[in-house]
Structure 1
């Protein structure tokens, strides 16, 4: 089966005053035991709401998202209705694209991602709007030129059609640069007490065997806007360094590791190396000197643990990685959709309406 899971969660930003809103819509065909249609939304990389074709209901994923009903009492009902309409269109879109690519059976996925960024200190904003099919870029909106970019030949039909609708491209520009930002500000205000929290991690040096790389492991930080790297003599290292992914912890914090290969380094030179952790918005870095005395190891320990024995620290990243994969499958990985609301429609953070959502179909 063609790989269809795309790790599009955690589209990181670089500053605590830099906020992001992401909506990911995914339509699936030929994938058993998985919803045919999934929507996941993220505010500052935190899942804010969720919808799938099994539940047929958009629901908040954070307590602070429920505050949106203070001003918009029918918000969740209106969003649910919009997404129910989107679900039908995505089903048709999968069939349309299968024909365009001359495909019949098998597993296929059509995706749409749209969102915006806003820096509340500088006022700088950015937006994007793009489609994917079977894990590859299909078509994307160029915000600067207000035209569509079609990297796939099969998308040229769609590009020519959509470029011929200047009114719609202007509306998308307005949405990405104005309306999306307004929604983002509203959501950030609702979740301010959570989204603007910072937590510093514990940093450990780990080594499995005397010949293994030394791992600098930071766990328990929040948010995930961080830098973790090795330095030698005060300069950042790029060679002999392997960066791991940022992973979720069960308590909502994050962890990350970076390995340093010391096979060509003389033991007497280890003191020239140090691991640096930087959290955006926090002035003081956490610097951990490469000292053999502080390295945690499992030398001489068996890999199989007895019942009740606590696993070594080296197992933490592995356990977390498995947990993240399970979380992604449950959450419904994919791209999401914003659609522009009609003047008479209820306000929509997904930017959708029953009429305009038909434009999801490349041949509509």
Structure 2
């Protein structure tokens, strides 16, 4: 079968026994100074492998995957061959689509998302493969009928062509439901010391200004199968609540937040609200009471800007940028020189990153253009988050 950087997509459902393997591949046309092809592999949202058209080899991103390749050079060679095959295959798809859509120039992006999810208690396996073109859903595989679904009229020609190739569709079925789950089980066993660990987060209440929503922010947790919500008098709230995405940290852990709009909450009712963090596999939830005394804010204070905040400020007028202060300090204690130097350096780094943001991101099981003001576009690698969150 052509190309194998495949991955499972997961629903926003928390389960203590479900594991996922995902592969994202992005191929571009008309983009200068950037690899024509980039592939990224993840297990339970942790990046384990990377490949691009410049290096033309698979690079291990975890200690366990590095050891896997060292112990089995033939497997590394096989993965590398799949990476190279994907490059030629996807490049051909772009050429075909440009002809079909009468496109002669400009930047064009072709993406593939492969996925497999395995429940280690029930043995249930779910597979998924979807392709996107220029930031929009293009075509997806239906495992039940072994046919292709075309969400746009432009994809109907491709659907009919691929539906006729029954042998190729059978190979997709075998790969997504049998071979891919075996890869997932193998990776979980090899990396069990890190992939199957449980780490609880630190949870903080953050607020930009007295009129801003209060954000309940959890960081440093693992695995990614977690959920967080606000509740009042023991009942989960759905109104005046905004849930953030689960985002990766650079140390392999994760972070997430949920905001509560306080505009309709009376001061005397604050004690009735609390933030609940639930981690899959953990015995107890982390409960944080809504209390003004513990809220961290930069209102009227000087503090250290966070990288997350700087990403949020991309594209905004400088004076309109408000940032959380995670470590409030007094003006006399504030290390102005080092911090200002660091912030300037970070801003320069962001400016460089922005020039290369052409990749398309995936959200809600679909593709959409990347937003340079979205911090998740820059986590782990531009391509990984371009396709993932």
TM-score normalized by the length of structure 2? 0.76
Kept in 1: contact 2:9–2:116 (CA 8 A):
no
> Counterpart of 2:317?
none
> Partners in 2 of 1:208 and 1:333 — Cα distance?
26
* Partner-residue secondary structure (3-state), 2:188: helix
> Counterpart of 2:73?
73
Q: What is the deviation of 1:167? A: 2.5
Kept in 1: contact 2:276–2:288 (CA 8 A):
yes
> Counterpart of 1:202?
202
CA change 1:105–1:322 in 2 (3 A) is same
Q: What is the deviation of 1:138? A: 1.2
Q: Deviations over 1:117-160 (max 9, x none)?
A: 10111111100122111111111110011111111222222211
Q: Which is bigger in relative contact order (C-alpha 8 A, separation at least 6)? A: 1
> Counterpart of 1:136?
136
Q: What is the deviation of 1:101? A: 1.5
Kept in 2: contact 1:16–1:196 (CA 8 A):
no
> Counterpart of 2:378?
326
Q: What is the deviation of 1:221? A: 1.0
> Partners in 1 of 2:182 and 2:65 — Cα distance?
15
CA change 1:130–1:322 in 2 (3 A) is closer
* Partner-residue secondary structure (3-state), 1:74: helix
Q: What is the deviation of 1:66? A: 2.6
Structure 2 gap ranges (5+): 1-7, 306-330, 351-372
Equivalent pairs counted in the alignment come to: 324
Give me the CA root mean square deviation. 2.9
> Counterpart of 1:122?
122
> Counterpart of 2:95?
95
> Counterpart of 1:278?
278
> Partners in 2 of 1:144 and 1:124 — Cα distance?
14
Q: What is the deviation of 1:87? A: 1.4
> Partners in 2 of 1:209 and 1:94 — Cα distance?
48
> Partners in 2 of 1:50 and 1:83 — Cα distance?
9
> Counterpart of 1:29?
29
* Partner-residue secondary structure (3-state), 1:181: helix
Q: What is the deviation of 1:239? A: 0.9
TM-score normalized by the length of structure 1? 0.81
* Partner-residue secondary structure (3-state), 2:219: strand
Q: What is the deviation of 1:13? A: 6.0
1:308 aligns with 2:335: yes
Structure 1 gap ranges (5+): 1-7, 337-364
Q: What is the deviation of 1:52? A: 0.4
Q: What is the deviation of 1:208? A: 2.5
